[in-house]
């Protein structure tokens, strides 16, 4: 890592690779760089610690919907996971082990937000402006900030008058005691279905404010037996076999998504699951979605539905009208006293919004936010036309609704490494995807969405205005791996700096 500057002209410090974000993506990139013998890189993290999602989301019951052995790096495995689906503290501990094992703190600047990135075409370099107003120059820049990290806070009339406690699930206040309190929880997404069952026994009264019901399926949860953990540790082939079985099991879930005719049978089972867990038929009906299963994110929980059988838990489906100093009022005029309001409303997903304060300038003064006005697009979620030597992890159309995003991150990391090697081996200074290659790819991706459940009519965070799905990979992940296993050199242009 070359950050010292001894030049008499005091030019900005330089590093070969600048990674923005120290979550799973940034960590995976940093480890693989070291494994390839590249040590001239820096991790820039705006937070106080590594971990990204698992640093921020420490709410009660926080856990992963993907099995532990699959939600971990294949080249830096953990053999002693305690259970099939790890909870947030164990995942965060795994991340800390990675940081320590690979000595990543020596390469990271914490509490360092990148405010802007500007490409210097004549020098084939990126200039990054940091929060402390200093400039860092890098040959390659990798966005590893992830698509889900800025909390979504919906505007509620009267929120400024409310005198009780307010926080988002990703900013959980563990110093606030919920015991004996009247609590309103807004949202029924992936976070809310995890913390609602955990806090319900503490609350005097818990109101779950539901705008849209979610399809929820059972979690095949279990603790790993000590013998299994011993075998995972002693026989690497046994651990890999277990991981492979989990992968292909998850991969099969995409079949009813891309073939909606099959999904109707899966949906019938999900309806039976609701009726089995909810005693009140009228309540069960309110918790049953009115859209085809898979159109929005399918959630996984064994404990969410039974929570509504508790006397102190009420499902509220009326829209919120306003907040007063100490209550929440719905549009039917009913007023419910509350001491605490919890936003379980997820994160901002529109790339134009979550990057609104980040200026990224490519060739010919091209602004990334302007390019994305009609919808975020890239080439395999990694490269963008007009932005040489700029790469992204989990970019547009590479998130998943059925398998582990860690699989996608690893494929993208290896692809980026090959592109950087291509630059070095060709004695060039920069590389950029060709316009035609990117445009053709995005046309193919949108075509693959046709006839899937994602285009069945419901509105989800996967879509931008107009219905275009900019978030998900629309088919099997093994197909993505095959497509990104080796870059097609004909899809790229190489550049040299001006002498």
Tens-place pLDDT, residues 289-334: 998 898 888 999 999 999 999 999 999 999 999 999 999 999 999 9
Nearest Cα residue to 351 out of 312, 383, 377: 377
**Amino acid 7: pLDDT:** 40
CB contact at 8 A, 364 and 386: yes
Nearest-angstrom CA–CA distance, 182 and 202: 10
Nearest-angstrom CA–CA distance, 257 and 431: 36
Nearest-angstrom CA–CA distance, 365 and 321: 45
First to last CA, the chain: 25
Q: What is the pLDDT of residues 352-379, one digit of tens each?
A: 555 656 899 999 999 998 898 878 899 9
**Amino acid 463: pLDDT:** 74
Tell me what percent of the chain is helix, strand and coil, each rounded to the nearest 5: 35, 20, 45
CB contact at 8 A, 439 and 371: no
Q: Which two tokens stand for residue 223?
A: 């603790």
Minimum mean pLDDT range among 169-183, 267-281, 343-357, 420-434? 343-357
Nearest-angstrom CA–CA distance, 343 and 166: 8
**Dihedral sign computed on CA atoms, order 173, 179, 182, 188:** positive
The residue written with tokens 């050199």 in the block is: 489
**Amino acid 6: pLDDT:** 43
What is the CB neighbour count within 10 angstroms for residue 200?
22
Give 158 or 350, the one with higher predicted confidence: 158
State the chain's mean pLDDT as an integer.
92
What is the CB neighbour count within 10 angstroms for residue 107?
22
Nearest Cα residue to 441 out of 393, 381, 401, 499: 381
**Coil, strand or helix at 402:** coil
Which residues touch 451 (CB under 8 Å, ≥6 apart)? 258, 260
**Amino acid 233: pLDDT:** 95
Give yes or no for residue 395 having a pLDDT over 80: yes
Nearest-angstrom CA–CA distance, 174 and 306: 25
Nearest-angstrom CA–CA distance, 81 and 79: 6
**Amino acid 419: pLDDT:** 98
Nearest Cα residue to 241 out of 74, 35, 411, 479: 74
CB contact at 8 A, 96 and 76: no
**Amino acid 148: pLDDT:** 66
**Amino acid 342: pLDDT:** 96
CB contact at 8 A, 372 and 364: no
Residue 292 exposed, middle or buried by CB count within 10 Å (0-12, 13-18, 19+) = middle
Nearest Cα residue to 12 out of 142, 134, 139: 134
Give yes or no for residue 8 having a pLDDT over 60: no
Minimum mean pLDDT range among 94-98, 369-373, 429-433? 369-373
Give 2 or 66, the one with higher predicted confidence: 66
Q: What percent of the chain has pLDDT over 90?
A: 79
**Coil, strand or helix at 185:** strand
Nearest Cα residue to 397 out of 449, 361, 358: 449
What is the CB neighbour count within 10 angstroms for residue 474?
21
Give yes or no for residue 10 having a pLDDT over 80: no
Q: Determine the distance from the C-alpha atom of residue 177 to the mean position of all C-alpha atoms in its chain, rounded to a whole number.
A: 29
Give 24 or 12, the one with higher predicted confidence: 24
Q: What is the pLDDT of residues 212-265, one digit of tens each?
A: 999 999 999 999 999 999 999 999 999 999 999 999 999 998 998 888 888 888
Mean pLDDT of 120-140: 95
Q: Determine the distance from the C-alpha atom of residue 184 to the mean position of all C-alpha atoms in its chain, rounded to a whole number.
A: 26
**Coil, strand or helix at 43:** strand
């Amino acid at each position: 890592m070359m950050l010292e500057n001894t030049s008499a002209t005091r030019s900005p410090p330089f590093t070969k690779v600048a990674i923005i974000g120290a979550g799973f993506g940034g960590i995976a990139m940093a480890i693989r760089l070291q494994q390839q013998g590249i040590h001239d890189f820096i991790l820039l993290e705006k937070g106080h610690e590594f971990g990204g999602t698992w640093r921020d989301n420490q709410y009660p019951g926080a856990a992963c919907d993907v099995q532990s052995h699959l939600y971990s790096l294949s080249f830096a495995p953990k053999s002693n996971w305690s259970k099939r689906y790890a909870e947030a503290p164990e995942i965060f501990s795994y991340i800390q082990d990675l940081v320590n094992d690979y000595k990543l703190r020596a390469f990271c600047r914490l509490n360092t937000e990148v405010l802007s990135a500007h490409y210097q075409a004549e020098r084939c370099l990126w200039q990054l402006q940091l929060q402390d107003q200093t400039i860092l120059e890098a040959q390659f820049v990798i966005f590893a900030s992830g698509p889900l990290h800025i909390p979504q806070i919906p505007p509620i009339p009267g929120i400024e008058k409310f005198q009780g406690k307010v926080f988002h699930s990703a900013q959980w206040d563990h110093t606030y005691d919920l015991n004996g309190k009247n609590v309103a929880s807004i949202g029924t997404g992936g976070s809310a279905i995890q913390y609602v069952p955990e806090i319900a026994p503490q609350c005097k009264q818990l109101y779950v404010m539901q705008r849209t019901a979610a399809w929820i399926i059972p979690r095949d949860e279990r603790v790993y037996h000590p013998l299994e953990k011993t075998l995972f540790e002693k026989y690497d082939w046994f651990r890999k076999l277990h991981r492979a079985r989990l992968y292909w099991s998850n991969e099969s879930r995409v079949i009813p998504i891309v073939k909606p005719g099959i999904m109707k049978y899966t949906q019938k089972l999900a309806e039976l699951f609701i009726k089995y867990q909810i005693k009140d038929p009228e309540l069960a009906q309110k918790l049953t979605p009115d859209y085809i299963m898979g159109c929005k994110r399918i959630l996984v929980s064994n404990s969410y539905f039974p929570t509504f059988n508790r006397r102190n838990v009420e499902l509220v489906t009326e829209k919120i009208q306003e907040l007063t100093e100490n209550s929440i009022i719905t549009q039917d005029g009913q007023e419910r006293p509350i001491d605490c309001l919890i936003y379980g409303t997820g994160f901002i997903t529109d790339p134009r919004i979550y990057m609104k304060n980040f200026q990224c300038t490519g060739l010919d003064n091209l602004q990334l936010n302007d390019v994305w006005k009609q919808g975020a697009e890239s080439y395999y979620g990694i490269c963008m036309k007009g932005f040489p030597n700029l790469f992204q992890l989990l970019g547009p159309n590479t998130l998943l609704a059925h398998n582990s995003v860690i699989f996608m991150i690893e494929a993208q990391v290896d692809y980026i490494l090959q592109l950087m090697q291509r630059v070095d081996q060709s004695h060039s200074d920069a590389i950029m995807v060709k316009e035609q290659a990117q445009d053709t790819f995005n046309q193919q991706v949108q075509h693959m969405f046709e006839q899937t459940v994602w285009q069945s009519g419901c509105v989800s965070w996967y879509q931008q205005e107009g219905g275009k799905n900019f978030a998900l990979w629309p088919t099997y992940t093994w197909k993505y791996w095959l497509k990104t296993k080796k870059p097609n050199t004909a899809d790229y242009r190489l550049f040299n700096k001006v002498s």
